[in-house]
Structure 1
Amino acid sequence: MEITWAQGVFAFCGGVLAPATGILCVWRLRRQDVSPLKGFVLGFGTVFCALIAVSFLARFIFPGYPRVTVPEPIAISFTIPVFASSILAIWLVVRKRSCSTRFPFGGASALLTLYVAGIFAAYHMFSWPYRKALPWSASEVEEHIWTAGFLPDFSYSLRARITEEQFLDYVARFELKSAGKREYYFFERDEAPRWGPSPGAYETYRREDGDWSMEAMYDNGIMWVTANET
């Protein structure tokens, strides 16, 4: 099963942000003769508990994710409280009477940089190339993905609102060629009923390479893309 962008950010928070918070707490508390283990547990534990809490909340609100599509920015927004908990942990180790504001603000800046870097890293690591090729101004982005596990077979569908000029740039990037007009109809999916453009004939762009094929068309401000390998 493919890992989504949001799932990658959640994993980053647990595997990188939480330990980094623990290390910062250790570095600060060493000046107060506090056990390094206690400092690490405080920082790591605060973030990890927040991560577990928001994971359960996200699962409760979106029980079908990732099978049922949820906009990735919305899914990623559930990690904001996790980042906030890392800042909380930094402030918990500060003793106002013995510490200037340099450490908490410096630590918060470092964690913010790490968190933002993690979001971008997860985007490039776990997003499909068809999505990464979209302009940043794209909106109403929706994906549906099926993979065959360890086999290379997959079926990928993408819709996004972009301008016609951006669509033509997208087509050129994947070297899709005009395949003439093709009739399109809605087809049903459990997770995406009425997936597809309005019924009608549309100019279609297509490319095939062995078992892989990709197709794109544009309808009333919306780009529709399918890619398959069988």
Structure 2
Amino acid sequence: MPTSTPTTRVALVTGGSGGIGAALAQRLATDGYAVAVHYAGNRAKADDLVAGITSTGGRAIAVGGDVADEVAMTAAFDEVESTFGGLDVVVHTAGVMVLGPVADYGLDDFDRMVRTNLRGTFVVAQQATRRVRSGGAIVLFSTSVTRTQFPTYGPYVATKAAVEGLTLVLARELRGKDVTVNTVAPGPTATPLFLDGKDEQTVERLAQAVPLERLGQPVDIAETVAFLAGPARWVNGQTIFTNGGLA
């Protein structure tokens, strides 16, 4: 039996077990959403987050699966709907980043990024368009590097620029359904995905490139997503650069 009332808004956050995804799940739960925390490989982190949400009176479950596997994602979406009675918001944060210059880049790494970042986004977006109820929102993720064009980010940017293009089309394909589709493009944000492989000098240089002279925090990104998920009904088909003014 569903564990929510008909008026409860329900959100699924992919990649919700850590980094930006965890901050988003916590923020949406604070806003009163029933939240499904998706994980790919770290069930323990997802369970800990669910436990934290439920301990304060929220409602949450953990759902697993490879975002690029349509069978696994169908099952995950089914579980969310079965548990909570429907789905209003899908936030797709799951992704991988392997940096390197195009000339020397390994195609195995590129194929892995394409599978997760591009195919995974498409699979999740496809399920979301079939499931999200009227008045709902789909929020995808890109990167501010599609605009800043830092060297070594080329392969990663290639997978994320495609997400921005998909957003424009999908928003128009959902005409008449009262479902918004937007993409958030964070700047340098203090998450394991961003910090991995960077020395202290590189991190500081990137922080100073931002007019606010700091790295973003996951809660900064969560603020934007919470806006798009709820009150931002007139924002649609957009890429929001949440980056502290990084040019």
TM bracket, shorter-chain basis: under 0.3
Which one has the largest radius of gyration?
Answer: 1
Q: Which has the higher contact order (CA 8 A, sep 6+)?
A: 2
TM-score w.r.t. length of structure 2:
0.21
- Structure having the higher strand fraction is 1
With the length of structure 1 as denominator, give the TM-score of the two structures: 0.22
